[in-house]
Amino acid sequence: MPSQIIWVIVLMLMLMSVFHTNPDTINLDGMKGRAQSGAITASIDGLMLSRSNYQQFSGQTLPIANWEQELRQSGVATPKVGGFTFSYDATAGQGHYFCVTSNAGNTSSSRFVMKQAYDRMGYDVFLNESCGAIENAEPDTPLEDLNALTLTVYTGD
């Protein structure tokens, strides 16, 4: 299901680029970034739903140590978005979260993708330097000044 959503988003972006630009002004990097941010958003949505289903059917909290294995055993594929890594953990006081980390570090393209994904999220989400952040880096610290870039999405428990 998430892969179908990704393809629909990619198709929409391609159609928009054809009808609203001319061949000399198509920004392929921007299109790729928007597709990646859409893939991240769809992946987080899928992970949140899969986690909820896992807990409902097993009666247990999704374990942190082997969360990917547990989801795979439940028949759920873990997301793969090129250049980004997904993790799952918890913090005292805030609860469980999924985290998206840029494998390339804090680059202009990863900032674009993460910011786009952040803007699309409807969850308790923070864009900062490390997983488990409980506040956004900006406006206190510009994203460009961070050593790393992560998107922390809390699950609500």
Domain definitions of the chain by residue range: 2-154
Q: pLDDT tens digit string along 59-114? A: 999 999 999 999 999 888 888 898 999 999 999 989 999 999 999 888 888 898 88
Q: pLDDT tens digit string along 56-70? A: 999 999 999 999 999
Give the DSSP letter string of 98-132: EEEEETT-S-HHHHHHHHHHHHH--SEEEEESSTT
pLDDT band (50, 70, 90) for residue 25: low
Instruction: Give the pTM.
Output: 0.78
Q: Round to whole Å and give the CA distance between 21 and 42.
A: 27
Q: Are strands 150-154 and 124-128 parallel, antiparallel or unpaired?
A: antiparallel
Where does 59-105 have alpha helices with state H?
Answer: 67-73
